[in-house]
Amino acid sequence: MSWRWLLAALAATSFLAASARAANTLDAITCPDANIWGSALFNNLCWSQMYPIVLSGWDIFGGHLAPGDASKRHLPCLCGGDIAKGKLPMVGVPLGMWRPTRIVESMRRPWCLGALGGVKLSNAGSSLLSGDATLAGGTIESESGGTKIGYYNVNYYYADFLAMFGLLDAPLCNPGGTVDFDFAQSSTFYPQWAKTKLSSIMNPEVSILAAIGMSVVQPVDCIATSTQGVPLDAAWMTAGCWGALVPYTGNVTPATSAPSMWLLTSTRFISMLARLGMLSRTVGEDALCEGQIMSVLKKSQYRYQMLFPVPQSKGGKPPPPAPRDTTNGGTQVAEFDLSSLTTGCTTPIGDSTLKSMEWRSRPTTGEDAVFLVWQWVDCCSGIIPNVF
């Protein structure tokens, strides 16, 4: 009889090992490692997005569009100091530029930190169901039941890479928060993120005004952003082609393409943080010495660069394709080069996903997304410190 017990033990061991491998595979799929660190970070960072650099009102490098109300001050700037106490202000020159400041990720699984190597802060998402969220392609049942709607959790990190790399040592140019990489916020901290009705109750004025303006404003914002490259800040209730910015939830109705849902939920979360007073406006002359209160998201202040699943890492105008017949001897319509729709490697809030995002999702292994957030920062770069 001992050999039967031995076979049973071997079968149980094999079953447990197979279950462990299946669990690890499920974890890797539902909470992927975005692999954004090391050489990948330097290779994938869109360095061309740093331009233009505006120094004392002069554009010394050409590049992407700056926000329309960015500082154009030519005179030196003064910050801090107290003459009555004999402390001189810092004298500097106005400096404006795009800089990578944050990382935001849209994940199907709650408490999954893809930017930190797929770390799971909780095992609650190891099953297909976790509270209000399901891992079935980033969708959940609607609150009224029956229909499926898009749903993603969002994590938010401080990631001021220019300061971290020592490329810009200017304290007043810090857009807020720590200069080190740090996990800052998560949608899982907020109960209204999964409950549209609760979010509407908590911010009723936002929902009412948005409902009035969405049908008229969204198409205009979508067209303006996609053609001009700069979103309409006055259209605060919409993220252009991506959808409505309010209510502040991870629920997207109706469920659209994965890139649209990633970008919309990420922007909604950033907009909610602004509404809660956690973000600052860093555009304009009044922001040279310190960021200003921004209770309504200034969309033109931000641009997204995808780091995962398929990074946007090439800037500038794409080279012309090699001559080849794409019409099958003239019997078909010529292929269209999607890369010709965009000349950069970042995306303004509300831009059409057909231009640079729509083909970047991947079945199973690429259904979550990690974005680097570029932020326009106007600041006073000191030339005479207030040392007295």
Q: What is the pLDDT of residue 8?
A: 52
If one counts the domains in the chain, the total is: 1
pTM beyond 0.95: no
What percentage of the chain has pLDDT greater than the value 90? Answer: 29
Tokens standing for residue 44 = 């994938």
Measured CA to CA in angstroms, residue 99 lies from 15, 69, 376 at distances of 51, 17, 6
| pLDDT (tens digit per residue) in 32-52 | 999 898 888 888 888 888 888
Tell me if 15 is assigned to some domain.
no
Q: Which residue has the higher pLDDT, 362 or 346?
A: 346
Q: What's the whole-number average pLDDT of the chain?
A: 78
Tell me if 77 is assigned to some domain.
yes
**What span, in angstroms and rounded, lies between the C-alpha atoms of 34 and 325?**
37
- 158 — pLDDT class (breaks 50, 70, 90): very high
pLDDT at 330 over 50: yes
- 1-15, 59-73, 152-166: lowest mean pLDDT where? 1-15
- 303 — pLDDT class (breaks 50, 70, 90): very high
**What span, in angstroms and rounded, lies between the C-alpha atoms of 295 and 379?**
20
Q: Which residue has the higher pLDDT, 253 or 273?
A: 273
Tell me if 245 is assigned to some domain.
yes
Q: What is the pLDDT of residue 331?
A: 62
Q: What is the pLDDT of residue 44?
A: 87
pLDDT at 266 over 70: yes
Cα 140 from chain centre:
22
| pLDDT (tens digit per residue) in 195-254 | 878 877 777 766 666 666 677 888 999 999 999 889 999 998 899 999 888 888 888 876
What percentage of the chain has pLDDT greater than the value 70? Answer: 71
Tell me if 136 is assigned to some domain.
yes
Measured CA to CA in angstroms, residue 123 lies from 18, 126, 133, 154 at distances of 19, 5, 13, 17
Tell me if 7 is assigned to some domain.
no
Tell me if 371 is assigned to some domain.
yes
State the Rg of the chain over Cα: 24
Do 101 and 179 contact (CB within 8 A), yes or no?
A: no
Tell me if 18 is assigned to some domain.
no
Average pLDDT over residues 107-135: 68
Write the secondary structure of the chain as one string of H (helix), E (strand) and C (coil): CHHHHHHHHHHHHHHHHHHHHHHHHHHHHHCCCCCCCCHHHHHHCCHHHHCCCEECCEECCCCCCCCCCCCCCCCCEEECCEHHHCECCEEEEEEEEEEEEEEEEEECCCCEEHHHCCEECCHHHHCCEECCEECCCCEEECCCCCCEEEECEEEEEECCHHHHCCCCCCHHHCCCCCCCCEEEEEHHHCHHHHCHHHHHHHCHHHHHHHHHHHHHHHHHHHHHHHHHCCCCCCCCCECHHHCECCCCCCEECCCCCHHHHHHHHHHHHHHHHHHCCCCEECCCHHHCCCCEECCCCCHHHEEEEEEECCCCCCCCCCCCCCCCCCCCCCCCCCCCCHHHHCCCCCEECCCCHHHHCHHHCECCCECCEEEEEEEEEEEEEEEECCCC
Q: What is the pLDDT of residue 126?
A: 40
- 98 — pLDDT class (breaks 50, 70, 90): very high
- 332 — pLDDT class (breaks 50, 70, 90): low
Tokens standing for residue 258 = 């994965």
Do 352 and 226 contact (CB within 8 A), yes or no?
A: yes
Average pLDDT over residues 159-176: 76
Tell me if 164 is assigned to some domain.
yes
Q: What is the pLDDT of residue 148?
A: 65
User: For residue 285, what are the domain limits?
Assistant: 24-384
